[in-house]
Amino acid sequence: MEAFQLLYHIFPCVAFGFMAANEAISQAAQAKGSLHITDLGMKHKLQCPSLIRTLASRPEGPPTLLITTLTSNVHLLELEAYMKSLIEDASYLTRYSNGVPHNIRVSYTMSFNSRESQEKGNHYTSTVMHLHKYVKERKGSLEAIKKLSPARLTVVEQDANHNGLFFHGQFLEALHCYSAIFYSLEASLPRHSPQRMKIVRLYFAKEIWNIIAYEGSDGTERDEQVDPW
């Protein structure tokens, strides 16, 4: 996770994806007094802080905010601590409108069983670099999201074809894709810098290994281009 957060601050394409998703949600949620955001793949811990700051600075005042996330038991305690820190940070964001203070309020749940999710027009779903891991069950995953009836669904994924049927095609696609990424990193980080080595070894190496060496349910890095989505 540290490697991805480092990549986020160095590689503009990653940061732009999070920024675009937040902007889409904030525009769709204008004038809404309460929002329910389902954040799939919150383990990155990068989207919500900036989104909360954006919502807190709205001219009409910040909304009441409910954030839902899905997680496994392995990451449960870590995510609960993170969500509580978001609530504490949000409590300091106060904006005055006509002399009246408005405080943004954040609560969270770990399941979809919330009455607020049933209120039409205030539910937004965001998935950043996460849904491709379930591409083999895409129909079921998208049907589950559809049942939530979100006012807006934001999907940020890598535009690559890592879900081919044959090893040769997957290998060539990975070679071309990651060669371009590493070439882009040259502009920010020297090839042998400690930061770059950490990003490559702890993040990209795992992705590449999964793409070319794993099949079946173990092959989770299955990015697809925009048309199949």
Domain boundaries, the chain: 2-156, 167-218
Comparing 15-29, 60-74, 153-167, 174-188, which segment has the lowest mean pLDDT?
60-74
Averaged confidence pLDDT in the chain: 76
Name which residue leads in pLDDT, 119 or 92. Answer: 92
Token pair belonging to 142:
């998208």
Asked if the model's pLDDT at residue 13 lies above 70, the reply is: yes
Q: Could you give the CA distance from residue 56 to residue 69 in angstroms, rounded to a whole number? A: 21
Q: Where are the alpha helices (DSSP H) in 60-166?
A: 76-90, 138-147
Name which residue leads in pLDDT, 211 or 138. Answer: 211
DSSP β-ladder status, 100-103 and 94-97: antiparallel
Nearest to 49 by CA among 9, 87, 10, 105: 87
DSSP 173-203: HHHHHHHHHHHHHTTTS-TT-HHHHHHIIII
pLDDT band per the 50, 70, 90 thresholds, residue 96: very low
Predicted pLDDT of residue 114 = 42
Predicted pLDDT of residue 139 = 57
CA distances from 221 to 170, 172, 180, 184, 211 (A): 11, 15, 18, 21, 6
Q: Could you give the CA distance from residue 185 to residue 163 in angstroms, rounded to a whole number? A: 25
Q: Could you give the CA distance from residue 1 to residue 6 in angstroms, rounded to a whole number? A: 9
Name the CATH architecture for the domain at 2-156. 3-Layer(aba) Sandwich (3.40)
Tens digits of per-residue pLDDT, 165-222?
Answer: 788 888 888 888 888 888 888 888 888 888 889 998 888 898 888 888 887 767 777 7
Predicted pLDDT of residue 128 = 84
pTM, two decimals, is 0.76
Q: Could you give the CA distance from residue 59 to residue 137 in angstroms, rounded to a whole number? A: 41
Predicted pLDDT of residue 103 = 54
